[in-house]
Amino acid sequence: MTDPIDRSGLRPRYWETTPLNRMTRAEWEALCDGCGKCCLNKLEDEDSGAVALTRVACRLFDDATCRCGQYDIRHQFVPECITLSVKNIERNLYWLPETCAYKLLWNKQPLYDWHPLISGTPQSVHDAGVSMQHQTVAEFEVEEDDWEDYLIEEPT
């Protein structure tokens, strides 16, 4: 399958030698494995602050491609959508999925073999069962009070 993220021309295994704050824009973007989990709605426990991900996806999430349906203009529709950067990653770690490449590298952990940078294909993320492709329900189909019925286990 065609990789929706341009991973061409990158230095071999740059993520093992280059800190997050020294990466080029292209290297940073290429870290995203395309799992789609950051497009899921979350539930936060008011007392403990613990966050659980649900299968209830953002209204712009395209479950077939596992991508944002309007990425370039998404903030017109979803102003609260976070653009992850090296400056804000630390305060967003608490809700990012355990398999997220940005979180793994921030925590000095290796990427999984199914990561497209290692496998050479974005399909490996879906084959490994870690993506949300064909796994979600749309947020306009589920009342917010019922989101707790759609919790996902992490990591899946």
Residues binding ligand SF4 (CB under 6 A): 32-39, 58, 60-61, 68, 74, 78, 81, 84, 96-97, 100-102
Closer Cβ to ligand SF4, 47 or 153, answer by number: 153
Strands 61-62 and 137-138: unpaired
Calpha distance 51→54 (Å, rounded) = 10
> Least distance in Å: CB of 31 to ligand SF4?
7
Q: Which is nearer to ligand SF4, 11 or 71 (CB)?
A: 71
Residue 148 burial (10 A CB sphere; 0-12, 13-18, 19+): exposed
Tell me the closest approach of the beta carbon of residue 42 to ligand SF4, in angstroms: 11
How long is the chain?
156
User: In the structure, how many helices (H) and strands (E) does the chain have?
Assistant: 6, 5
Quick one: 50 or 138, whose CB is closer to ligand SF4?
Answer: 138
d(CA 89, CA 84): 6
Quick one: 4 or 46, whose CB is closer to ligand SF4? Answer: 4
Cβ 47 to ligand SF4, closest distance in Å?
26
